[in-house]
Chain A
Amino acid sequence: AQSVSQHNHHVILSEAASLELGCNYSYGGTVNLFWYVQYPGQHLQLLLKYFSGDPLVKGIKGFEAEFIKSKFSFNLRKPSVQWSDTAEYFCAASQAAGNKLTFGGGTRVLVKP
Chain B
Amino acid sequence: DGGITQSPKYLFRKEGQNVTLSCEQNLNHDAMYWYRQDPGQGLRLIYYSQIVNDFQKGDIAEGYSVSREKKESFPLTVTSAQKNPTAFYLCASRSTENTEAFFGQGTRLTVV
Binding site for B on A (CB under 8 A): 1, 6, 9, 32, 34, 36, 43-44, 46, 49, 51, 90, 92, 94-106
The residue that B97 contacts in the complex, of A6, A43, A46, A98, with Cβ under 8 A, is A98
Interface check B25, CB cutoff 8 A: no
The residue of chain B having its C-beta at the shortest distance from the C-beta of A9 within the complex is B40
Report yes or no: B97 in contact with A97, Cβ–Cβ below 8 A.
yes
Chain A residues, Cβ within 8 Å of B35:
103
Give the CA-CA distance A9 to B39 in the complex, in Å.
10
Binding site for A on B (CB under 8 A): 31, 33, 35, 40-45, 48, 50, 56, 58-59, 90, 92, 94, 97-98, 100-101, 103-106
Report yes or no: A99 in contact with B50, Cβ–Cβ below 8 A.
yes
Chain A residues, Cβ within 8 Å of B40:
9, 105-106
The residue of chain B having its C-beta at the shortest distance from the C-beta of A94 within the complex is B97
Report yes or no: A100 in contact with B98, Cβ–Cβ below 8 A.
no
Q: State whether A100 and B58 are in contact (beta carbons under 8 Å apart), knowing that A6-B42, A90-B42 are contacts in the complex.
A: yes
The residue that B33 contacts in the complex, of A32, A51, A101, with Cβ under 8 A, is A101
Interface of B is mostly: strand
CB distance from A44 to the nearest CB of B (A): 4
Report yes or no: A105 in contact with B42, Cβ–Cβ below 8 A.
yes
Chain A residues, Cβ within 8 Å of B92:
44, 101
Chain A residues, Cβ within 8 Å of B50:
99
Task: Identify 11 new A-B residue pairs, CB closer than 8 A, beyond the known A99-B48, A101-B48, A105-B41.
Answer: A9-B40, A32-B97, A43-B104, A43-B106, A92-B43, A95-B97, A96-B98, A100-B45, A100-B48, A100-B56, A106-B41
Give the CA-CA distance A21 to B105 in the complex, in Å.
25
Give the CA-CA distance A9 to B59 in the complex, in Å.
21
CB distance from A30 to the nearest CB of B (A): 10
Chain B residues, Cβ within 8 Å of A97:
97
The residue of chain B having its C-beta at the shortest distance from the C-beta of A107 within the complex is B42
Most buried by A among B33, B100, B103: B100
